[in-house]
A and B are shown apart, each in its own frame.
Chain A
Amino acid sequence: MNILLFGILLFALAFFVHILIWKIHLPKKNHTCFLLNIFFGLFIIGIFILPAQRLSDYIQAFLLYLSLMLAYIISYSAIEVDSPSLIIVLNIAGTGCGLSREELNKQLTDDLLVLPRLKDLLNDKMVFMEENKYKLTKKGVFLVKIFIFFRKILNAGKGG
């Protein structure tokens, strides 16, 4: 039970530090990188204060902490970026009298749905521009290959 408490308390502490930092000074970009620094920082501190005697206790406590950390950081992107499905649902709910496809198409343009994500890719150095054409960097190729490989295993299409 100590392991469970330790893992959850350490995660709660890291989450509190994250909220505190965000309230004092919200990072302009690379939120994920900041989050990783905060959570790994607390992880290192945790190694020295964990009251465990067996190796398995250490592994279990930190596996719990790391899995909670990963789950939170993955979810954070939904907070950072507006999801099209959620915008659609909120817009439909906002009218009260229904919304047609034409109205949705007018509200949700490429400027809202596609171009900000292209800008993110440029900022994250996944994509670069050469002679007015966007091309993938090595980092971009590496990432997309992971997803292509997995989509092939699933025998699924391009997605999006």
Chain B
Amino acid sequence: MKEIIIASVPIIGLFVNALIQVLSFRFFRHLGLLKSIFLGVGAGFFVLVLLSLILSQQWIISIFVQGLTYIALSYCYFHFINLGQTARRIRILREFYDAPNGLSCEELLMFYNSKEIIERRIERLLAGKQIIIKNDKYYIGNSFMLLAARLLVVLKIVLLGKKSEFDKKT
């Protein structure tokens, strides 16, 4: 039984992570989504370290292995939250779900369209200072997002042989 508990430490950590993230986001709204995610990750990792210290004899190795598993699981949880927050496919599904008789393409575009998508992204990019606005024009702010975008383009070229989903394979 103790063996199974030791092996399940990353799952317990993930559970604590999700619990703290949800509670902090619900009840301390001013924190915002990103901070609630960091808080959850921190709380889960704290529990993981604590359990490894109590349960495992080789606790350094245990924290290393369990920690890596926990970080990967937390990353998946972060993506799950992010999907609900930003994914276009989920939002389109949501619009169809709210219309039991279905929606034509034109009706869908009335509820959800490129202008809204751009509006939301610009807001988030401005808030994160990834872009800045000067004289009604947008410029790159801090270069983290630009680096991430360029890295993704490199990965697209390596894996898919094209820069964008709309390009033909080179």
Contacts and interface: CB of A to CB of B under 8 A. Distances in A.
A30 interface: no
Contacts of B87: 159-160
A132 B104 CA distance: 6
A112 B170 CA distance: 20
22 contacts: A4-B64, A60-B6, A63-B10, A67-B72, A71-B75, A75-B79, A79-B152, A79-B160, A84-B88, A85-B86, A86-B148, A90-B146, A98-B134, A99-B137, A101-B122, A112-B114, A114-B88, A117-B88, A127-B96, A130-B102, A144-B93, A159-B94
Nearest to B9: A60
Nearest to A68: B72
A109 B166 CA distance: 13
A92 B131 CA distance: 9
A4 B97 CA distance: 43
A36 interface: no
A128 to B, nearest CB: 9
A116 interface: yes
- The size class of the interface chain B forms with chain A is 35 or more
Given A67-B72, A114-B112, A160-B86, A121 B92 contact: yes
A150 B84 contact: yes
Interface string B140-152: 1000011011101
Contacts of B69: 7, 60, 63-64, 67
A140 to B, nearest CB: 6
B53 interface: no
Contacts of B140: 89, 92-93
- The size class of the interface chain A forms with chain B is 35 or more
A29 interface: no
Nearest to B7: A59
B117 A84 contact: yes
A88 B92 contact: no
Nearest to A69: B72
Nearest to B162: A26
B85 A159 contact: yes
Contacts of B31: none
Contacts of A147: 83-84, 90, 93-94
Nearest to B90: A147
**Shortest 9 CB-CB distances between A and B: which pairs?**
A160-B91, A133-B102, A98-B137, A59-B7, A67-B72, A56-B3, A135-B102, A86-B149, A144-B93
A83 to B, nearest CB: 8
